Each structure stands twice: as structure tokens, then as C-alpha cells.
Structure 1
Amino acid sequence: MLKAVARDSLARNSVLIMGSTVGTAGLGYLYWLLAARELPQPAIGTATALISVATVVSMVSNLGAGHMFIQRLPGAGLAAWSRIVSAGLLLGCSSTALAAFLAAALLPALGANFAFLAGAGGAPALIVTAVALTASTLLDYVFIAHRASHGMLGRNLGVAVGKVLTLAALIWCGVGGPAAVLLAWTVPSVAVTAYTLGVSLTRLRPGAKLRGAGISAELPHLRSSLTGHHLINLAQAGPSALLPVLVTARLGAEANGHFYVAWMTASVLFMVSPAVASAMYAERANKSAAGLPRAALVVLAVIGLPALVLFTGGEQILGLFSAGYAAEGELLLRILVLAAIPDAITNLAVAHWRSLGRYRRCLRLNLLMAATCLALAWVWLPGTGIEGAGIAWLAGQCVGALVVAVIALRRRSPGRDVEDPAPVQPVRADHRRA
């Protein structure tokens, strides 16, 4: 079994990406368990609300450079490789810093539940957290582009372990409140990112040097990525990033603390299909065959047992945080588990269509799911509590899976050709295809 996985590039990199995400999720669970047991719930609520805002800011402002890396880094010469990575990281992190500054200035005026951003440390904390998230995400894509997901695994596990150890050290030193959570969340990420930039990238591509010279030549490529892949990414990842922000806006930071713990627990399932989808897309970008049925089997094999455990034992798992988290989040966790299957269907379908250059189809599907989820969440949250966000997420994913099924049936109807995997083409050339 292990030899078969090692020989199969899609399976190997899928497993490594999933190992990174699942390992990070497991250590993240330990991190939040420690925080919930040692820090007051209002502090957890404020910290999770700021992290949620930082996640949205990073997602919106990273310019889609990650998928540009997948498209352009394989086969690039040394000078071009250095220029592409330098431009993606510098421009993505700069735009994130600007967006975070604007968010810190505007959100407190838009809603009282975001007043925590108006304090003296609100804006700096948001900027550093958002930039750290962007840098971490883009560096992951560099490793994925080279089918070197072992580098991503080591880097992310280092960050996750660092978070747990830093939080434990801060609590032992008497540092409490939201500051302890945010410092422990951000400092290890910044440290590992610095190590990756200084050491890991040169090992990945010997002789590469990150520098600002020639970055202007990359602007057309980033602009194409922004209008192509980035819009797809925003529509795809938007609901998952925005739901905690909507919970904060509609129900307050304390309710978001309960929501965030259940969401974080269920996220072990939501990490699997994007990992396999990214590996499949990278395989096709590297001119390797990667079939959709094979990718689907990998996803189903991995999420089956964890989904059963979370659905049947969710109350006990959330109870490790406290009885309050179990009481508030048990039903929400079960709803989110049910959403894992349609979520996997839509993630794999988008990766498949993206590799064929069907960018408009990807965007339309993701926009439909995002609009359904966010609109229903906004309406249902005040009346149903945090479960309303879970039901809205499930509804959005089911609508998307239904659309995928209809398109698949149409493609298999008499007189229509079945789409075959094709080498990934630059987004600049194909972003107008329907």
C-alpha cells in the first residue's frame, strides 16, 4: 500500500497535503483546547473574531498568486523562477497589509461588534496576522507547484507545534486575554516563514534568490491571475472565511467563539478535498495524467472514518473544551459533517474544470454557492443561532453539488463529447472560455 502511494504522484502529494492539513488541524485542536481551558471565553471570542477578519482580508488580497505559481513555476528558468516567486510574495503581502489597515479603520464604524479593532493594538494585530496568513498560503503553493508537498508538511507542522508551545509558554508566564492567543497564533508563523524564505526555498530551487528587481514584468501575469483564478478562489473560499465574520456581526464575538470551535473541529473534513484538488491540478500542470475518479476515491477513503467519528461523538469531542462548547456546538458540528460530501464534490469539479480552462463555469458555480450560503446565513443567524450558519453552509454546498450532477449528466447525454483532462493552460490565454 505504502509503495503504491509512493509511486503514484497524485496519491503521494495528496497524502502529503492532507497530512499537512490534518496534522495542522489536530495540533490546532490542541491549541484551542488549551486556550479554552486556560483563558476566559470572552478572550477566545475576541481572538477568534480578529483571526476570522484576518482570514477574510488575506483571502481577498493575496491576488491569486498561489495558482499562478502552479501554472508558471514548473519548467521556469532560475531567473524567471526567482522573479515569479518574489513578485507573488511581495505584491501579495503588500496588498494584504493595505487591506488589513483599511479593514481595521472601517469595520468598527460599521458595527459595534467589531469595536475590538478600534483599540491601540487592533490595527497592528490585524495587519501582522493577515500578512502572516498570506505569506504562509503563498509559500504552500510554491511547494505544491513543484509536487514537493513534503516541504509544505514540515513547514506547517512546525508552525502548528510552535503555536501550541508558544501559547503554553505565554500562559505559564501569566500573559492572558486575547493577546496570548494572537501572539501564539502569529509569532510562530512569522518565524517559520522567515526560515522558509531564507533556507527552504533555496533547497527547493538551488541558486534561487528573492529580490525586487524585475517585479514590474510580473504585473501582467498577476493581473491575469487576479481576473481569472483569484475570482474563482474568492467565490470558493469566501463563505468559509466570511461565516465567522457574519456570526460576529449578527450574534457577537462570544457566539463566534462557540461557532469557531465547532467549525475548526469540522474543518478536518473540509481540508481533504481541497488538498486532493490542489494535487490533481498540480499534476496536470506538470503534464501528468490525474483522473477525476481516482481523486474522488482518495477523498472518500480519507474522510469516511473521521466523518463517522465526528457525527456520532461530536458532543464528547466538543466537551473536551467545556460543557458549554458541547451544548452550543453539538448540532452545528453534525450539520457541518453532513456538508463534507457535497463540499468534496464541488471542490473536485472546480479543480477538474479549472484544469480544462473552464474558468467561467468554475466562477459561476462558486458564486452560486457563495450567494446561497451567505444570504441564508445572514437571514437565519438571528433566529436560529449559530446553527443557522451551518444550515446555510450545507444548503450552499448541496446546491453546488446538484449543479455539478446536472452538468455531468448533460455531458454524458448522446451527441455530447466527454471532457478529457488536458494540460493546464495559462489563465491569460483561456480566462474567457465558458
Structure 2
Amino acid sequence: MLKDSLARNSVLIMLSTVGTSGLGYLYWMVAARELPRPAIGTATALISAATVVSMIANLGLGHMFIQRLPSTASGAVGGSAAWSRIVSAGLLIGCAATAFASAAAVLVLPRLAGNFGFLDGLSGAAALIVTAVALTASMLLDYVFVAHRASQGMLWRNLALAAGKLTALAGLTAAGWASASAVVLAWTVPSLLVSIYTLRWSLRRLRPGWRLGGGGLGAELRHVRGSMTGHHLVNLAQAGPAAVLPVLVTARLGAAENAHFYVAWMTASVLFMVSPAVAAALYAERTNANARSASLPRASLVVLVVIGGPAVVLFLAGGWILSLFSPAYAVAGGLLLKILVLAAIPDAITNLAVAHWRSTGRLRRCVRLNLVMAVSCLTLTWWWLPSWGIEAAGLAWLSGQSLGALLVAVLAGGDRYAGRIRAWPRSTALAVHDFFVDPVRRAGSLRGRIAPRPRQPRGGARPLLQPAVRGRPDLRLPAGSRRPSPHSRPRSRSWRVP
């Protein structure tokens, strides 16, 4: 299995996710035991808003890295100078766009929902901007490692990041800082430090000669525009609902209910992170010329093997796991966790389908599929939250993913049927086409067709090629000989037999 590049990088990405989630459990467990629920709700609302802003403003640069960096690493497109230009321009443009979008969110969110009033202060605005920029930088650096199929760098980076968050939170709470600011600081500062370390040392080991600089921004804007109109739209429609759901819960139900929702959502995210990890590895494999294991059945098998056991454990023992935070979280989020576990199956189907279609260039199909799921999920969440509570978000997520899986089955069946028709002989394809054309059009298409020439008998004399000319003997072909091709026949009566 370690010799299989797809499986190896998928496992490394999932180990990064599992390790980060495990340390994240401890992080939020410390926060739940040391801080009141309103403070946790405020912190999770700010982190969720920063996640949404980062996702909108990263411009799809991560997938642009996957597309372009492998060719420069092999020396085909300019070596380390081109590699440095692509990475530097992507990081600078992504972080600048995130800072601008965060400032806009600080102005808009408190006016749209009163529960985001904590952003009106200077400290709240600065926390949102810094957290969103840190998330964008961390995400783009992860994609650099994925693009080179060196996911072990991503693994160690994220483990160090999660351990730093846990250590910082434990230190702040031990010092008596029991507020939402402690959670946000412990979340953001280690992310910035690990990103600086990655820029200074890790990328240099990944690509000798790497250098951070601002040159070549104008040349890279053309590629950024291409990623915005293609992969970025796919990413927004695909990952948008997962990031927006906590924001909707906060806006409709308040920060305290969002704390219950966020803990259950974070617990179920162990399952939701598996299929995106395999999908990213599948796409990275298919962009590499030397990849041989990038098949959809193999990726599906990896997801099934990894996701099966944890799904059963979470479904049967999810309440006990939530009670580790506090009994109130188990009571409020037990049913929601079961619903989210069921949604992991259609979520895996849609993620792998999108990765497959993305690698074949059918980005419009990916965007339309993800938009259908996103609109249905967010609309149902907004409608159902006041009546059904936080379980409404889980039901809406399950409904949207199930609808997407159904559409994937329909589209895959249509592709298979279309390929079968193209493989038929020409006469059969015409017969199928004529069968589906209405009688009026079929009758009109038959007008003006030339009737086929009747076949001549093989025995006996052939007819004259032209009427006999006086003074010349009749020209007849021997019996059984082939008839001359049409272009060899005489065109006028001036023709004479030699």
C-alpha cells in the first residue's frame, strides 16, 4: 500500500486530519471545561466567520498550485524561479484578498445579525482579520505539499499546529484568562508561527532554491483569474455550506446553541474530512504525468476502508463521546451527531464524483452539482432552524448530500449510456437517432434522398455503357467482370472507342 502513491498520500492527508481532530478534541474539551458556553459560542462564531471569509477570498489558488507546481518541479517550465514566483504570488494575493474581505465582513455582519455585535469593537475586528489571514496562509501551504505528493510535510505541519493550539489554550486558561479572547488567541497565534516556520525552512527542503518575493505578480494574475472562474467556484459551492452552517446557527439561535452545534459538527467532521482528503490526492495524482494509481474505484475503496469503522463508533457511541465535553453537550447534540454520521455516505459519493469530473475538465458540471446541494442545504437550514433547533442543520445537510448523490447516479448513468451509443456502428446510431426524431422531422429528412442504384445480376451480358454509335461496334463487357467505377464512365457522346 505504501508503494501506491494515491493510497499513500490519501493516508497521509487523513492522518493529518485525524491527528488534528484528535488534538482538536482535547482543545475544545479544555475550553468546554474552563470557559462558559456563551464565551465558547462567541469564539466558535468568530472562527466560523473567519473560515467563511478565508474560503471565499482564497480564489482557488490551492488547486492552481496542484495544476502548475508539478511541471515546474520537474524542470519543464523554468525551475525554481518559476516555482518561487507561483508560490509567492499565490500567498501574497490570497492573503491580501482575505484581509480585504475580512474588513468588509467586519462592516457587514453586525448589521445583518445582531448576534455578531462582538465584531463592532476594535479587538473583534482585528481578531477576525488576523484569524482569516492565518487560515488562508495555512491552507495554501498545505496545498503546496499536496501538489508535490509530499503530504508528510502537511502531516507534521498540522500536528505541530494542533499541538501548539492546545498548549497555548492550556497556558492561557491556567493563567486565569477565561474568555472568548483566550480561545481566539490560542487558535490564531500558533497558526501564524507554524506558517512562518514553513515559509522559512520547510519549503526550502521541499524545493531547494525557494525564495519568497513579490516579483511576477502581474504575470500570475492571468492564472489567478482562470482559477477564480473554474476551480474557485467549485470550491465555494462544495465547501461553502460546511463553513456557513455555524454562522447560520449563530444568527438564528444564538451563540449558546452554536456551541452545542459546533461540538457535534466538529466530532462528525472526522468523517467529512476523509473523502475530501482522498479526492484531493486523486486530483493531484491525475495532474502528475507519472501517476498510475489514480482510478476512481481505488479511491472509493480507500474511503470505504477508512470511513467504515469510525462511522459505526460515532453512531453507536456518539453520546458518550460528546459527554466528555460535558453532559449538556451529549443531551443537546446526540441526535444531531447520528444524523451527521448518516450524511457521511452521500457526502463521500459527491466528493469523489467532483474530483473525477474536475480532473476531466468538466468544471461546469461540478459547479452545478455543488450549487444544487449548497442551495438546498442552506435554504432548508434557514427555514427549519427556528422550529427544530440545531437538528435542523443536520437534516438539511443530509438532504442536500442525498440529493447530490442521486444526481451523481443520474449523471453517471447518462455518461455510460452516451458512451455506449457512440460505440455502436454508424447504421445503429442512425437508427437510434431516427427512432427519437418525431415523425414530421423524420419524414422531412427523407425528402430529396437519392434512391440506391439497383444491383445488377452477376450472370449474362452487361448493359451498354451508352447508346450504340453508327459505324462502331457495340461495346460489351465480358460476363462476370466488375463494373467500372462511376468516374470512369463516358460523360458525353463525343467519346469514341479506341
TM-score scaled by length of structure 1: 0.94
* Aligned residue among 147, 150, 168 for 2:149: 147
Whose helix proportion is higher, 1 or 2? 1
* Aligned residue among 410, 415, 421 for 2:414: 410
Matched length: 415
Matched residue SS, 1:147: coil
Partner of 2:7: 11
Per-residue deviation, 1:411:
2.2
CA contact (8 A) 1:339 1:394 kept: yes
Deviation string 1:263-304 (CA, Å, 9 cap, x unpaired) is 000000000000000000000011213100000000000010
Matched residue SS, 1:74: helix
The ranges of structure 1 where at least 4 consecutive aligned residues each deviate by more than 4 angstroms after the TM superposition are none
Aligned residue identity for 1:242:
V
CA distance in structure 2 between the partners assigned to 1:244 and 1:180 by the alignment: 20
Aligned residue identity for 1:68:
M
Partner of 2:76: none
Partner of 2:203: 201
CA distance in structure 2 between the partners assigned to 1:323 and 1:104 by the alignment: 34
* Cα separation, partners in 2 of 1:20 and 1:110, compared to 1, 3 Å: same
CA distance in structure 2 between the partners assigned to 1:342 and 1:321 by the alignment: 28
**Structure 1 position 69 matched with structure 2 position 65:** yes
Partner of 1:223: 225
Per-residue deviation, 1:120:
2.5
* Aligned residue among 370, 373, 376 for 1:372: 376
Unaligned 5+ runs, structure 2: 73-78, 424-498
Aligned residue identity for 1:274:
P
CA contact (8 A) 1:339 1:398 kept: yes
CA distance in structure 1 between the partners assigned to 2:263 and 2:422 by the alignment: 42
Deviation string 1:226-283 (CA, Å, 9 cap, x unpaired) is 0100000000000000000000111111111110000000000000000000000000
CA distance in structure 2 between the partners assigned to 1:416 and 1:130 by the alignment: 48
CA contact (8 A) 1:412 1:418 kept: no
**Structure 1 position 244 matched with structure 2 position 246:** yes
**Structure 1 position 42 matched with structure 2 position 38:** yes
CA distance in structure 2 between the partners assigned to 1:418 and 1:23 by the alignment: 48
CA distance in structure 1 between the partners assigned to 2:308 and 2:186 by the alignment: 32
Per-residue deviation, 1:109:
1.3
Per-residue deviation, 1:413:
2.5
CA RMSD of aligned residues (A): 1.2
**Structure 1 position 329 matched with structure 2 position 325:** no
Partner of 1:313: 317
Deviation string 1:356-408 (CA, Å, 9 cap, x unpaired) is 00000000000000001000000000100000000000000000000001112
Partner of 1:259: 261
Partner of 1:122: 124
CA distance in structure 1 between the partners assigned to 2:29 and 2:119 by the alignment: 25
CA distance in structure 1 between the partners assigned to 2:12 and 2:418 by the alignment: 40
* Cα separation, partners in 2 of 1:341 and 1:417, compared to 1, 3 Å: farther
CA distance in structure 2 between the partners assigned to 1:372 and 1:414 by the alignment: 29
Per-residue deviation, 1:172:
1.0
Higher relative contact order (CA 8 A, sep 6+): 1
CA distance in structure 2 between the partners assigned to 1:120 and 1:217 by the alignment: 36
* Aligned residue among 336, 347, 356 for 1:343: 347
* Aligned residue among 156, 166, 169 for 2:168: 166
Deviation string 1:147-187 (CA, Å, 9 cap, x unpaired) is 00000000000000001011001111111100110011011
Aligned residue identity for 1:9:
S
CA contact (8 A) 1:307 1:337 kept: yes
TM-score scaled by length of structure 2: 0.82
CA contact (8 A) 1:411 1:418 kept: no
Matched residue SS, 1:212: coil
CA contact (8 A) 1:269 1:337 kept: yes
Deviation string 1:187-223 (CA, Å, 9 cap, x unpaired) is 1100000000000001100001110011110000000
CA distance in structure 1 between the partners assigned to 2:218 and 2:20 by the alignment: 35
CA contact (8 A) 1:411 1:417 kept: no
Structure (1 or 2) with the larger CA radius of gyration: 2
CA distance in structure 1 between the partners assigned to 2:106 and 2:418 by the alignment: 55
- Structure 1 window deviating more from structure 2 (91-100 vs 404-413): it is 404-413
* Cα separation, partners in 2 of 1:125 and 1:418, compared to 1, 3 Å: farther
CA contact (8 A) 1:248 1:256 kept: yes
Aligned residue identity for 1:348:
L
Per-residue deviation, 1:415:
5.0
**Structure 1 position 25 matched with structure 2 position 27:** no
Deviation string 1:41-60 (CA, Å, 9 cap, x unpaired) is 11100000000100000000
Per-residue deviation, 1:416:
3.1
CA distance in structure 2 between the partners assigned to 1:61 and 1:207 by the alignment: 29
Aligned residue identity for 2:115:
N
CA distance in structure 2 between the partners assigned to 1:266 and 1:417 by the alignment: 43
CA contact (8 A) 1:346 1:397 kept: yes
* Aligned residue among 43, 47, 66 for 1:51: 47
Aligned residue identity for 1:302:
V
Per-residue deviation, 1:417:
7.2
Partner of 1:383: 387
Partner of 1:286: 288
Per-residue deviation, 1:412:
2.4
* Aligned residue among 343, 356, 360 for 1:356: 360
CA distance in structure 2 between the partners assigned to 1:116 and 1:265 by the alignment: 26
* Aligned residue among 392, 398, 407 for 2:396: 392
CA distance in structure 2 between the partners assigned to 1:415 and 1:284 by the alignment: 22
CA distance in structure 1 between the partners assigned to 2:53 and 2:257 by the alignment: 21
Matched residue SS, 2:2: helix
Per-residue deviation, 1:6:
1.4
Partner of 1:272: 274
Per-residue deviation, 1:110:
1.3
Partner of 1:430: none
CA distance in structure 2 between the partners assigned to 1:156 and 1:345 by the alignment: 26
Unaligned 5+ runs, structure 1: 420-434
Per-residue deviation, 1:69:
0.0
Give % identity.
70
Matches within 5 A, 1:153-192: 153-192=155-194
Per-residue deviation, 1:414:
6.8
Aligned residue identity for 1:317:
I
CA distance in structure 2 between the partners assigned to 1:125 and 1:31 by the alignment: 19
Partner of 1:428: none
Partner of 1:295: 299
Aligned residue identity for 1:153:
L
Aligned residue identity for 2:337:
L
Partner of 2:56: 60
CA distance in structure 2 between the partners assigned to 1:155 and 1:52 by the alignment: 22
